[in-house]
Structure 1
Amino acid sequence: MKRYSRAVVGQLALTIAVLVTRTTLATPPISAASEAPPNLVVINCDDMGWGDVPGFALEGTTPPTYTTQMPNLAQLALQGARFTNFYTAQPVCSASRAALLTGCYPNRIGISGALFPDAKIGIAAQERTLGEMLHTQGYATCIAGKWHLGHLPEFNPTKHGFDEFLGIPYSNDMWPLRHGAQAIDNSFPALPLYDGATIVERVETMEAQGALTRRLTGRINDFIARASARKQPFFAYLAHPQPHAPIAAGSSFTPQTRAELYAAVMREIDWSVGEVMRTLEQHGVASNTIVMFTSDNGPWLALGSDAGSTGGLREGKGTCFEGGVRVPCIMRWPGHIPAGGVSSVPWMTIDLFASMQAIVHATAPSESCPIDGKDARAVWSCRGDAQPSHEAFYFYYHANHLEAVRMGAWKLSLPRRSRTLDGKPGGAAGLSAPYVEHETPLALFDLEHDPAETHDLAASRPEIVAAIMVHVEAARADLGDALTKRKGANRREVGRATPIVSPGAK
Structure 2
Amino acid sequence: MLAIAVVMTAMTNKPAAKTPNIVLFFIDDLGYGDLSVTGALGYKTPNLDQMAVEGTRFTNFMAAQAVCSASRAALLTGCYPNRVGVYGAFGPASPLGLSPKEETIAELVKAQGYATGIFGKWHLGSDQEFLPLQQGFDEYYGVPYSHDMWPLHPWQEQAKYPPLHWIDGNKPGKEIKNLEDASELTPVITEHATAFIRKNKNKPFFLYVPHPLPHVPLAVSNKFKGKSERGIFGDVLMELDWSVGEIMKELKTQGLDENTLVIFTSDNGPWLNYGDHAGSSGGFREGKGTSFEGGQREPCIMRWPGVVPAGRVSNQLLSTLDILPTIAKLTGAKLPKEKIDGIEFTALLKGDESKSPREEFLYYYRKNSLEAVRKHDWKLVFAHPGRTYEGSLPGQNGKPGPSPEDHAFPEALYNLERDPGERYNVLEQNPEIVAELRKIADTAREDLGDDLQQKTGKNARPVGTAVRK
Q: Cα deviations across residues 77-119 of structure 1 (Å, max 9, x unaligned)?
A: 0010100000000000000000000111100000000000010
The equivalent of 1:486 in structure 2 is: 455
Say which SS state the counterpart of residue 24 (structure 2) adopts: strand
Most deviating of 185-194 and 399-408: 185-194
- The answer as to 2:347 corresponding to 1:378 is yes
- The answer as to 2:171 corresponding to 1:189 is no
Q: Name the CA distance, whole Å, in 1 between partners of 2:48 and 2:291.
A: 26
Most deviating of 411-420 and 280-289: 411-420
Say which SS state the counterpart of residue 70 (structure 2) adopts: helix
Q: Name the CA distance, whole Å, in 2 between partners of 1:395 and 1:378.
A: 25
Matched letter for residue 115 of structure 1: F
Q: Cα deviations across residues 171-218 of structure 1 (Å, max 9, x unaligned)?
A: 010001113x6x633510111111100101110110111111000001
Q: Name the CA distance, whole Å, in 2 between partners of 1:215 and 1:189.
A: 22
Say which SS state the counterpart of residue 446 (structure 2) adopts: helix
Q: Give TM-score, length-normalised by structure 1.
A: 0.88
Most deviating of 333-342 and 139-148: 333-342
Q: Name the CA distance, whole Å, in 2 between partners of 1:80 and 1:344.
A: 14
Q: Give TM-score, length-normalised by structure 2.
A: 0.94
Q: How many Å apart are 1:331 and its aligned residue?
A: 0.4
Counting aligned pairs with the same residue, the percent is 45
- Pick from 365, 373, 384: which aligns with 1:416? 384
- Pick from 393, 402, 410: which aligns with 2:370? 402
Q: How many Å apart are 1:52 and its aligned residue?
A: 0.4
Q: 1:118/1:360 Cα in 2 relative to 1: closer, same or farther (>3 Å)? A: same
CA contact (8 A) 1:56 1:84 kept: no
Q: Name the CA distance, whole Å, in 2 between partners of 1:301 and 1:184.
A: 20
Matched letter for residue 238 of structure 2: R
Q: Cα deviations across residues 95-148 of structure 1 (Å, max 9, x unaligned)?
A: 000000011110000000000001001011110011111111100010000000
Q: Name the CA distance, whole Å, in 2 between partners of 1:381 and 1:404.
A: 30
CA contact (8 A) 2:42 2:230 kept: no
- The answer as to 2:109 corresponding to 1:142 is no
CA contact (8 A) 1:297 1:317 kept: yes
**Equivalent residue pairs, number:** 455
- The answer as to 2:306 corresponding to 1:335 is yes
Q: How many Å apart are 1:54 and its aligned residue?
A: 2.7
Gaps of at least 5 residues in structure 2 are 1-13
Say which SS state the counterpart of residue 370 (structure 1) adopts: coil
Q: 1:186/1:413 Cα in 2 relative to 1: closer, same or farther (>3 Å)? A: closer
- The answer as to 2:465 corresponding to 1:496 is yes
Q: Name the CA distance, whole Å, in 1 between partners of 2:178 and 2:417.
A: 45
Q: How many Å apart are 1:256 and its aligned residue?
A: 7.1
The equivalent of 1:51 in structure 2 is: 33
- Pick from 54, 62, 65: which aligns with 2:42? 65
Q: How many Å apart are 1:363 and its aligned residue?
A: 1.9
Q: Name the CA distance, whole Å, in 2 between partners of 1:218 and 1:309.
A: 28
Q: Name the CA distance, whole Å, in 1 between partners of 2:234 and 2:419.
A: 28
CA contact (8 A) 1:175 1:185 kept: no
Q: How many Å apart are 1:257 and its aligned residue?
A: 9.2
Say which SS state the counterpart of residue 362 (structure 1) adopts: coil
Q: Cα deviations across residues 404-442 of structure 1 (Å, max 9, x unaligned)?
A: 111001111111012212233311111000112321111
CA contact (8 A) 2:394 2:401 kept: yes
Say which SS state the counterpart of residue 396 (structure 1) adopts: strand
- Pick from 291, 305, 322: which aligns with 2:293? 322
The equivalent of 1:114 in structure 2 is: 89
Say which SS state the counterpart of residue 231 (structure 2) adopts: helix
The equivalent of 2:410 in structure 1 is: 441
Q: 1:457/1:195 Cα in 2 relative to 1: closer, same or farther (>3 Å)? A: same
Q: 1:33/1:297 Cα in 2 relative to 1: closer, same or farther (>3 Å)? A: farther
- Pick from 122, 134, 139: which aligns with 1:159? 134
Q: How many Å apart are 1:258 and its aligned residue?
A: 10
Q: Cα deviations across residues 225-247 of structure 1 (Å, max 9, x unaligned)?
A: 1100xx11001111100000001
Alignment of 1:264-283 (within 5 A): 264-283=235-254
Alignment of 1:8-407 (within 5 A): 35-56=17-38, 63-66=40-43, 69-179=44-154, 184-228=157-201, 231-255=202-226, 260-366=231-337, 369-387=338-356, 389-407=357-375
Q: How many Å apart are 1:334 and its aligned residue?
A: 1.6
Q: Cα deviations across residues 141-175 of structure 1 (Å, max 9, x unaligned)?
A: 10000000000010010011000000001001000
Q: 1:258/1:185 Cα in 2 relative to 1: closer, same or farther (>3 Å)? A: farther
CA contact (8 A) 2:293 2:421 kept: yes
Matched letter for residue 131 of structure 1: A
Most deviating of 37-46 and 256-265: 256-265
